[in-house]
Structure 1
Amino acid sequence: MAPRILITTDYLHAGDTVDQLLREHGLEPVYAPAQRPRTLEERNALFKDISGAILASEPVTADMLTGAASLQVIARSGVGYDSIDVKAASALGIRVCNAPGTNHHSVAELTIGLIIMTARRLVEVTTSVREGRWSRDAGQELRGSTLGIIGYGPSGRATASLGAAFGMTVLVSTSHPDPDNAAVQFTDLETVIGEADYLSLHTRAGHSTGKLIDAPRLQAMKPTAVLINTARGSLVDEEELAKALSARTIAGAALDVLESEPLTADSPLHGLDNALITSHLAGQTTQARTRAGLAAAHAVIDVLENREPAHPVDR
């Protein structure tokens, strides 16, 4: 019997290029996208008789891996892998890979798009027109404003380039500065937070228990500033963010990622007119999906054919 490859990424499907590639290598794709939160029984049985997996961002816990006797490799069809218990997988000899460099332009473009939407109040304007009104409130130009970026990986670099092209002053906090980039000013984290008109997150979740953007850092932001998060929902204390938005401590937030997705009914972010929330789609362009899916498929194939994968995160 051909090795079975579990695919939970909802945009991958039978007959596409990933499906064809896997079958060309003698593998059998098995599709199981999560239409709703999986039950405990479903989670624990997810990897039964599975040799490799191409996964969306749903959690993979140590308990889920305990019964995965055949599983050799997990490949994320994206960059983030915080949802996977990499330590538990490694202890069981299961390789874990991701797909960096496949969606950073898409992420950067949506980041700038969210900034433009908040700067020009496009949600309020289009809603007013749809409702028969004709709102013409003044927005803000991006040129001359300050874009603060935390993290300078591929999406952070791409966002910085776009911000500079709009005539923004770009401040970046990173442990890997690029001194040759004259369009960017590298500085410390607190300076970026305090001076940004638009504060954009492009960093991985840390290993500490605290949040990157917590109450003190929200207080340190300008009252006219907007927080943009296209990176990780776990970076932001959503309770404190909701308080800051309600009190107008900051002007707004545009969030493509949340700590719990989809947005829960009891989320404190519900009903806030200065919170713009999208459905974790920063990297979801046709082009990025194709690149990410193929990168994940190649990782699975490499491991199953005893080659070192291009982008392991477990070593």
Structure 2
Amino acid sequence: MALRILITTDYLHPGDAVDQLLCDHGLEPVYSPFRGPRPFEERRALFDGVSGAIVASEPVTADMLADAASLKVIARSGVGYDSIDLPAAVASGVRVCNAPGTNHHSVAEFTIGLIIMAARRLSEVTTAVRQRRWPREAGHELRGSTLGIIGYGPSGRATANLGVALGMNVLVTTRHPDPDNTAILFTGLDTVIRGADYLSLHTRAGQHTGPLIDALRLEAMKPSSILINTARGSLVDEEALAKALHDGTIAGAALDVLQSEPLPGDSPLRGLDNVLITSHLAGQTAQARTRAGLAAAQAVIDVLESREPAHPVDP
């Protein structure tokens, strides 16, 4: 009997390239796409009878893993894996892998898109035109402004390079600077936060105690600055951000990731005109989805065929 592979990533479907790859290796894909929080009993039974799983950003908790007797591997069809209880997976003997290097260009392009939307107030303008108004307020050029980047992994590096190409002054804080890239100034975290007109987050969760961007760091930003987060929702204190946006501590924010997704109805970010929120789309191009899905499938295959996967994240 073929080993069953659960696929919860909502953009993967029967008959696609991922499905075909798994079938070619004698595996049986089964689908249960994640479209929002599942009832408790469904969550507990999600991994019953499956040997591997390909997941997107769906939370994978200790109680879900407790009875997953046949599960050998979980592969993220993306980069971040903070939605997976990694210690619980390790304790259960479940390998955990991700798919780095598959969507960083998509994330970088989306980040710059958010910056342009904020600089030119495109969301407000298009909404006004639909309402039969014709706004003519001035926006801001990116050339000559300062792009601050926290983190210099693949998406941070790609975003920095796009900023340079647009004529922006680019400041980066990272543990791994690139001294050969003289177009970028590598400096400390506080300098980046204070100097940025556009502050973009590209660092991992778990490297900081509490949110990276809290009330104190929001206070340190320019009153005219814009915060952009396409990395991890847990990096930003959303209550502090909502207050900073309401009080004019910073000019605006553009968020593609949130502490809880979809955005809760009672979120303090709702009702604010100076925040742009998108639905976790930065890495979601057709090309990136294909690359990420195939990388995740290959990780599942490698583990089940007793090979070391290319990108394990378990210790």
Identity %: 79
Q: Per the alignment, in what secondary structure is the counterpart of residue 23 of structure 1?
A: helix
**Residue matched to 1:84:** 84
Q: Per the alignment, in what secondary structure is the counterpart of residue 224 of structure 2?
A: coil
Q: Give runs of aligned pairs for residues 24-35 of structure 1, distance below 5 A.
A: 24-35=24-35
**Residue matched to 1:126:** 126
Q: Give runs of aligned pairs for residues 1-315 of structure 1, distance below 5 A.
A: 1-315=1-315
CA RMSD of aligned residues (A): 0.7
| Larger displacement relative to structure 2 (36-45 or 21-30) | 36-45
| Larger displacement relative to structure 2 (144-153 or 122-131) | 122-131
- 1:228-249 per-position Cα deviation (integer Å, ceiling 9, x unaligned): 0000000000000000000110
- C-alpha separation in 2, matches of 1:151 and 1:35: 30
Superposed displacement of residue 209, structure 1: 4.1
Q: Per the alignment, in what secondary structure is the counterpart of residue 78 of structure 1?
A: coil
Contact 2:36 2:262 in 1 (8 A): no
- C-alpha separation in 1, matches of 2:298 and 2:201: 29
Superposed displacement of residue 128, structure 1: 1.3
- 1:61-87 per-position Cα deviation (integer Å, ceiling 9, x unaligned): 111111000000000000000011111
- C-alpha separation in 2, matches of 1:78 and 1:50: 21
Q: Per the alignment, in what secondary structure is the counterpart of residue 9 of structure 1?
A: coil
Superposed displacement of residue 264, structure 1: 0.4
- C-alpha separation in 2, matches of 1:136 and 1:286: 35
- C-alpha separation in 1, matches of 2:209 and 2:169: 32
Superposed displacement of residue 90, structure 1: 1.2
- C-alpha separation in 2, matches of 1:141 and 1:209: 35
With structure 2 as the length reference, what TM-score do the two structures score? 0.99
Q: Per the alignment, in what secondary structure is the counterpart of residue 244 of structure 1?
A: helix
- C-alpha separation in 2, matches of 1:287 and 1:184: 28
**Equivalent residue pairs, number:** 315
User: Structure 2: which amino acid aligns with 1:116?
Assistant: I
- C-alpha separation in 2, matches of 1:132 and 1:88: 54
User: Structure 1: which amino acid aligns with 2:33?
Assistant: P
- C-alpha separation in 1, matches of 2:35 and 2:186: 42
Classify 1:80/1:114 alpha carbon distance in 2 versus 1 (closer, same or farther; 3 Å): same
- 1:154-200 per-position Cα deviation (integer Å, ceiling 9, x unaligned): 00000000000000000001001001001110000000000000000
User: Structure 2: which amino acid aligns with 1:42?
Assistant: E
User: Structure 2: which amino acid aligns with 1:225?
Assistant: S
> Which structure 1 segments of 5+ residues have no match?
none
- C-alpha separation in 1, matches of 2:301 and 2:210: 37
Superposed displacement of residue 56, structure 1: 1.1
- C-alpha separation in 2, matches of 1:16 and 1:184: 41
Superposed displacement of residue 225, structure 1: 0.1
Superposed displacement of residue 124, structure 1: 1.1
- C-alpha separation in 2, matches of 1:61 and 1:307: 26
- C-alpha separation in 2, matches of 1:23 and 1:6: 13
> Which structure 2 segments of 5+ residues have no match?
none
Superposed displacement of residue 151, structure 1: 0.3
- 1:121-161 per-position Cα deviation (integer Å, ceiling 9, x unaligned): 10111111111111010000000000000000000000000
- C-alpha separation in 2, matches of 1:76 and 1:206: 17
- C-alpha separation in 2, matches of 1:50 and 1:187: 47
Q: Per the alignment, in what secondary structure is the counterpart of residue 29 of structure 1?
A: strand
Q: Per the alignment, in what secondary structure is the counterpart of residue 276 of structure 1?
A: strand
- 1:207-262 per-position Cα deviation (integer Å, ceiling 9, x unaligned): 55411000000000000000000000000000000000001100000000000000
Superposed displacement of residue 36, structure 1: 2.9
| Larger displacement relative to structure 2 (215-224 or 40-49) | 40-49
Q: Per the alignment, in what secondary structure is the counterpart of residue 69 of structure 2?
A: coil
User: Structure 2: which amino acid aligns with 1:25?
Assistant: H
